[in-house]
Amino acid sequence: MSSKRWIALGLAFALFFLSIGISALTTTATGQWTGFFAIDEEEVWAEKIVEKGNGKGKIVVLNVNGVIQERYDAPSIFETVTYNHRNFLSMLRHASEDHLVDGIIIRVNSPGGGVVESAEIHDLIVEIQDEFRKPVYVSMASLAASGGYYIAAPADKIFANEATITGSLGVIMQSINISELAETYGIRTETIKSGVHKDIMSPMREMTEDERRILQSIIDDSYESFVEVIANGREMERGKVRELADGRIYSGKQAFELGLVDELGNLNRAIDIMRADIGRGELDVVKYEARFSFPSFLTMTTQNIISRHQDPLGLKQLVRHSNSPSLMYLYKAE
């Protein structure tokens, strides 16, 4: 193993033991040794007060920041991950089941993401509204497009800044075709397949018309689901939704004028209106942070050290992110 890798491992272990020491000192001072070793699912999230109110109830602010896509590999301890799908669903469900939470605001700053992941968030929001009768508002940041709008559609109220980029209502599936480049350099693939369409969207050959029709039918199904979500969430005629959902983007001001957004204003405006709508005064505003868990931290650190050592070039990651077609509610500017 090279000296640089030994240094990296040494730093990782130093940070590991430093974190344990800090947590131990904190828990000793507060007498909360149980929390130090806590792995109970219900104890994963700790509240942090964003804005102190009258203590008569709480509004939880949750952030969707980045591409809405599930990640299957463990992040490095040095890596910043903007969105964690499982964590967000867990926080949303935790807020719904907390009887002290009176309302939920989701702050969306996202170009969208996976069709499945967006649908999971949408369905959970609808479940919270139906089962727990809690208001769910969405506050759009600078970007809330495609899947970012999909998850906003069922909200009781949607807020946007005049300059917010939203819209891009639709579905996309993309691949690349390098067949001519491969032919130029004498590169070819040998494919043995069980059916004529088994290598559909292969980058090494032209797509056939039959394959294009197959994929278009899948896109059309997902598009109709998107139209239905907007029509139901915004109480809008499907014909009107289809006029708006041609893939174009809108400013927050345009979205407001078209009925895609309820109010123009920032996050503070959304908080103020939710407080007024609930009608119990200046409720506390809180967010969730992950509690420190010794077992989970040890597991994550060990996994990352092992995975980086076994796959230093990231080849396994490259294989996982192959050219497999993916349905996306995603705004792509390029």
Place of tokens 């102190």: 52
Whole-angstrom Cα distance, residue 269 to residue 136? 14
Whole-angstrom Cα distance, residue 43 to residue 38? 7
User: Is position 1 within any domain?
Assistant: no
Place of tokens 């495609």: 146
CA–chain centroid gap for 130, Å, is: 22
Under a CB-based contact definition with an 8 Å cutoff, are residues 300 and 77 in contact?
Answer: yes
User: Is position 320 within any domain?
Assistant: no
What does the pLDDT read at residue 4? 56
Kindly give the pairing relationship between strand 157-160 and strand 165-167.
unpaired
User: Is position 318 within any domain?
Assistant: no
User: Is position 11 within any domain?
Assistant: no
CA–chain centroid gap for 221, Å, is: 22
Cα within 13 Å of Cα(261), Cβ side: 30
Whole-angstrom Cα distance, residue 45 to residue 329? 29
User: Is position 8 within any domain?
Assistant: no
What does the pLDDT read at residue 65? 96
Whole-angstrom Cα distance, residue 329 to residue 198? 24
* CA dihedral sign, ordered 215, 147, 143, 236: positive
Q: pLDDT tens, position by position, for the chain (334 residues)?
A: 556 555 655 665 665 555 555 444 444 443 443 344 444 445 589 999 999 999 999 999 999 999 999 876 555 444 445 899 999 999 999 999 999 999 999 999 999 999 999 999 999 999 999 999 999 999 999 999 999 999 999 999 999 999 999 999 999 999 888 888 888 889 888 999 999 999 998 989 999 999 999 999 999 999 999 999 999 999 999 999 999 999 999 999 999 999 999 999 999 999 999 999 999 999 999 999 987 655 555 545 554 554 445 544 444 444 444 456 688 998 876 6
What does the pLDDT read at residue 82? 80
What does the pLDDT read at residue 326? 81
User: Is position 6 within any domain?
Assistant: no
Domain containing 142 equals 37-312+326-330
CATH number, residue 250:
3.90.226.10
What does the pLDDT read at residue 272? 98
**Helices 85-97, 115-127: inter-axial angle, 10-degree rounding:** 0
Residue 116 burial (C-beta neighbours within 10 Å; 0-12, 13-18, 19+): middle
Q: Which of 146, 168, 222, 293 is catalytic?
A: 146
Does residue 58 have an active-site annotation?
Answer: no
Kindly give the pairing relationship between strand 165-167 and strand 249-251.
antiparallel
- Start-end of H helices in 199-261: 209-234, 238-244, 252-258
- CA dist 294 to 27, 81, 105, Å? 12, 20, 30
- According to DSSP, residue 188 is labeled -
User: Is position 77 within any domain?
Assistant: yes
Count of domains observed in the chain = 1
User: Is position 69 within any domain?
Assistant: yes
- 294-314: per-residue pLDDT in tens? 555 554 555 455 444 554 444
Cα within 13 Å of Cα(288), Cβ side: 27
Q: What tokens does 46 get?
A: 């700790």
What does the pLDDT read at residue 36? 42
Whole-angstrom Cα distance, residue 244 to residue 168? 9
Does residue 193 have an active-site annotation?
Answer: no
Q: Which of 52, 198, 316, 332 is catalytic?
A: 198
